[in-house]
């Protein structure tokens, strides 16, 4: 049996290690301020969040484990009930986008499987119920005439759409961020919004990601959320903060 003195020394060393680990990354937090704070949801679309979607085979387990669909809805409900403006940054591909001469790995996959495909930028034929459409449960919140729907982003981040412009024009400089998928569009939006001078709180269980042989996208995103966001909230923490403002 290990001597008591050795056990105590080991315990003290372990506690010191945990203390250092806990203190290694501060949590600056983010205060929700009316008129300056918005909810941004990336890609709340069927191809990511429905069993009928083309990515369900790789994202479904993560979506179910995080209760992502319901948690995004809870964010919508809290924001609408408390006067927090809502912005959607969607992902669409038009026939002309399939003329790209080079793509990254996931871009090529998305094009190959017809993810987020629409028939054209100026028409909505075939949009209703397609993989590019909103999840049905979200439509009352997105289609209420108040939610701001930005132009589509084409790869992962908002550099290719007007989300930042739409936020700035409304005096928004604080963002509560959720949506799909964690290590791709959500993380890319986080990084660009930070670079543009926004404060960002990521809602960790209002997202999910693909889990494939090459790795777990959700686990990868959680590390980076903690490293770069102003704070990381659960849906419970986010909705409580929204309701308390």
pLDDT for the residue 13:
52
pLDDT at 23: 58
pLDDT values of the chain reduced to their tens digit, one per residue, 245 residues: 444 345 444 544 544 444 444 558 999 999 999 999 999 999 999 999 999 999 999 999 999 999 999 999 999 999 999 999 999 999 998 889 889 899 888 788 787 877 788 889 989 899 999 989 999 999 999 999 999 999 999 999 999 999 999 999 999 999 999 999 999 999 999 999 999 999 999 999 999 999 999 999 999 999 999 999 999 999 999 999 999 97
- What pLDDT, in 10s, does the model give residues 139-186? 999 999 999 999 999 999 999 999 999 999 999 999 999 999 999 999
SS (H, E, C) the chain: CCCHHHHHHHHHHHHHHHHHHHHHCCCCCCCCCCCCEEEEEECCEHHHHCCCCCCHHHHHHHHHHHCHHHHHHHHHHHHHHCCCCEEEECECECHHHHHCCCCCHHHHHHHHHCCCECCCCCCCCCCCCCCCCECHHHHHHHCCCCCEECCCECCCCHHHCCHHHHHHCCCCCEEEEEECCHHHHHHHHHHHHHHCCCEEEEECCCCCCCEECCEEHHHHHHHHHHHHCCEEECHHHHHHHHHHC
* C-alpha distances in Å from residue 59, one per residue of 3, 28, 72, 125, 183: 49, 31, 16, 27, 12
Domains of the chain: 28-244 (3.40.50.850)
pLDDT at position 68 is: 98
Question: Could you give the CA distance from residue 147 to residue 152 in angstroms, rounded to a whole number?
Answer: 15
**CA gap 147, 2 in Å, rounded:** 63
The whole-model pTM stands at: 0.88
């Amino acid at each position: 049996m290990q001597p008591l003195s050795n056990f105590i020394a080991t315990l003290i060393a372990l506690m010191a290690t945990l203390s250092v680990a806990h203190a290694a990354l501060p949590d600056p937090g983010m205060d929700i301020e009316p008129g300056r704070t918005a909810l941004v949801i990336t890609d709340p679309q069927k191809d990511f969040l429905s069993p009928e979607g083309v990515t369900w085979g790789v994202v479904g387990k993560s979506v179910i484990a995080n209760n992502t669909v319901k948690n995004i809805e809870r964010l919508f409900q809290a924001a609408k009930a408390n006067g927090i403006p809502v912005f959607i940054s969607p992902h669409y591909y038009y026939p002309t986008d399939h003329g790209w001469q080079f793509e990254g790995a996931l871009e090529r996959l998305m094009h190959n499987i017809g993810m987020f495909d629409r028939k054209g930028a100026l028409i909505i034929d075939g949009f209703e119920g397609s993989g590019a459409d909103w999840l049905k449960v979200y439509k009352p919140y997105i289609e209420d005439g108040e939610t701001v729907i930005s132009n589509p982003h084409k790869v992962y981040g908002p550099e290719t759409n007007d989300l930042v412009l739409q936020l700035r024009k409304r005096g928004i400089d604080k963002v509560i961020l959720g949506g799909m998928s964690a290590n791709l569009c959500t993380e890319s939006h986080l990084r660009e919004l930070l670079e543009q001078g926004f404060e960002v709180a990521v809602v960790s269980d209002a997202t999910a990601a693909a889990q494939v042989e090459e790795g777990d996208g959700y686990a990868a995103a959680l590390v980076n959320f903690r490293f770069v966001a102003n704070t990381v909230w659960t849906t419970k923490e986010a909705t409580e903060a929204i309701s308390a403002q």
